[in-house]
Structure 1
Amino acid sequence: MTDSIPPLLPLHNLSKRHHALPAPVAEYLFQAARVCFDRHHVSPKEFTLEDDKVESIARVEWERTDDREKGAWDNDDATEAGACAVAIAAIELTRSLFAIRRMSKGSGADYYLALRSQDLEDLENCFRLEVSGTHSDKSEVTKRLRIKIEQTRRGDSNLPALAAIVGFKVQLILLHTVDESL
C-alpha cells in the first residue's frame, strides 16, 4: 500500500488566481509566511488543515528566507501578513474560494471571497474572511478562533463569514464558517 502525498497548499503564484492580490501584494504576503515558517520549520512540512472540524493534511513548501528578508520583518507584521497568505491558500484548496477584494476597517473581516466564476463587482454573494496568526501553542490557536468568530459577528457587514487562524509553530490551520444565529 502506498501512502498518498497530501495536496500542496497553493501559496505560490497567488496573484494569478486571487484578484485582491496583485503580484507585489502576493509576494509580500508569501514572503511574510516564509519568514514565519522559517522560525520553526524546514521545508517541506505538513500542516493539519481543519475546515469546520473536518481534518486533512496539506503539504507546505517554500524557499528559505535569507537574512535580508528576515530583517525586513518584525514579528507582528510577518505573522499577520503571513497568516493572510496561508489562510487564503487554504480556503482556495478546501473551498475553491478566491480573495477578490480587501475589506475596509470595521467590517469585521479582512477580505471578500468568491467563486472564480463570480462577478467581481457583485459583493452581495461573497463571504467575508477574517484572519489571524500565532506562533503559540494549540490552545492559543483555538482561543484566537473564538475571538475572530466574535469579531466577524460584530462587524458592520451581514455577509456570511469565515474565520481562519494559522498556528505557524504547531502546524495548524483552522477554518470555521461563522454562524450568525448563534
Structure 2
Amino acid sequence: MPLQSLSERHQALTTSVAGSYLEAARVCLDRHHISPKEFTLKDNAAETIAKVEWVVADDRTRAAWANADDATRDGAYAFAIAATELLRGMFAIRRAETRTGADYYIVPANQDWEDLENCFRLEVSGTHSDKSEVQRRLRMKLEQAKQGKSNLPALAAVVGFRVQLILLQTVDEAS
C-alpha cells in the first residue's frame, strides 16, 4: 500500500499534510495491529490484498493525535488516497469545496488536472468498528456524494482500521 511519500505523487497533498495524514494512520493502525498487516481492498466487485507496513507511533505522536475522531478521519484520508492510487491509478489533485459531496478531487494519471472537468470526486470515511459498520458507512458516503452540489462523477471510500478492510465504490447516479 503506497502510504509513504504521498506528497510526491499527489498534487493536493503538501509534505506537511501528507505527513500529518500518515501520522494519524499510524496511530489508528497501532490501536489494533502490529506491522505488517494485510488489508482487503474491494473496488466495486473486484477484491485484492495489500500489505501495509508502518512504524509504530511514539508517545508524542499518540499525544498529538489523541482526538480519536480527527485521527480516524485524517488516517482514512491517507488510506483512501493510497487505495485509489493503487487500485485505479488516480491521484488527488485538489481538496474539494464544502457541499460538493466529496473530500478530494482525483484524476487518472494521464489526464489534464488543470481543468476539473476531467476529475472525479472522492468522499472518504474511516471507522474502528466492525465490517457491517464499514458497509453501512459506504452506503452513507455513496448517498452523500450523490447529494453533493457537483455534476462530476464520484467515488466513495471507507476504511475499516480494525477489520483491515477498505471499500471503494463508484457512485451510480441511477440507483
Question: If the TM-score is normalised by the length of the shorter chain, which range does it land in?
Answer: over 0.9
C-alpha deviations, 1:70-96, integer Å up to 9, x for none? 011110000000000001001100100
Whole-angstrom CA distance in 1 between matches of 2:13 and 2:113: 13
Among 102, 105, 115, which residue is 2:98 paired with? 105
C-alpha deviations, 1:100-150, integer Å up to 9, x for none? 000011000000001223222210011000000000000000000000000
Whole-angstrom CA distance in 2 between matches of 1:117 and 1:58: 24
Native 8 Å contact 2:125 2:137 kept in 1: yes
Which structure 1 segments of 5+ residues have no match?
Answer: 1-8
Are 1:144 and 2:170 counterparts? no
Map of 2:48 onto structure 1 = 56
Map of 1:19 onto structure 2 = 11
Among 122, 135, 143, which residue is 2:128 paired with? 135
C-alpha deviations, 1:121-180, integer Å up to 9, x for none? 210011000000000000000000000000000000011100000000000000000011
C-alpha deviations, 1:26-80, integer Å up to 9, x for none? 0001110000000000110000000002111000000000011001111000000
Whole-angstrom CA distance in 2 between matches of 1:162 and 1:49: 14
Whole-angstrom CA distance in 1 between matches of 2:133 and 2:111: 35
Map of 1:5 onto structure 2 = none
Among 21, 27, 31, which residue is 1:39 paired with? 31
RMSD: 0.6
Map of 2:160 onto structure 1 = 167
The TM-score with structure 1 as length reference comes to 0.94
The TM-score with structure 2 as length reference comes to 0.98
Classify the secondary structure of the residue corresponding to 2:156. Answer: strand
Map of 2:84 onto structure 1 = 91
Are 1:120 and 2:113 counterparts? yes
Range 149-158 or range 117-126, more displaced: 117-126
Counterpart code for 1:15: S
Give the number of aligned pairs: 174
Report sequence identity in percent. Answer: 65
Whole-angstrom CA distance in 2 between matches of 1:54 and 1:117: 23
Classify the secondary structure of the residue corresponding to 2:135. Answer: helix
Whole-angstrom CA distance in 1 between matches of 2:136 and 2:108: 29
4+ runs of 1 displaced by more than 4 Å? none
Among 1, 5, 10, which residue is 2:2 paired with? 10
